[in-house]
Homo-oligomer: A and B are copies of this chain.
Amino acid sequence: MPIPEKSVTCKNCLTKSECFKELNDSQLEMIEEGRLEVTFNKGEVICKQGMLASHVIYIRSGFVKLYIEGNNGKNIILTIEKDGYLIGLQSLFGKNIFHYTAVAYEETTVCLFDMTALSNLLELNASFAAKLIARLNENTIRSYSRLFCLTQKQSSGRLAEILLCLSNRIYESPRFNLALSRKDLAELTVLSVESLSRVIKEFKEDKLIIVDGKTIEISDRKRLEMICENG
Contact = CB atoms under 8 A, between A and B. Distances in A.
A151 B190 contact: yes
Contact of A100 (B100, B123, B144): B144
Interface in A105-144: 119, 122-124, 126-127, 129-134, 136-141, 143-144
A175 interface: no
Given A133-B132, A140-B143, A148 B90 contact: no
A143 B147 contact: yes
A2 interface: no
Contact of A147 (B71, B136, B147): B147
Interface in A32-59: none
A68 interface: yes
A230 B71 contact: yes
24 contacts: A68-B144, A70-B148, A74-B148, A76-B147, A78-B147, A89-B137, A90-B140, A91-B137, A93-B137, A94-B134, A122-B126, A122-B133, A129-B129, A132-B133, A133-B133, A133-B136, A136-B136, A136-B137, A139-B140, A146-B147, A147-B150, A150-B151, A151-B151, A151-B190
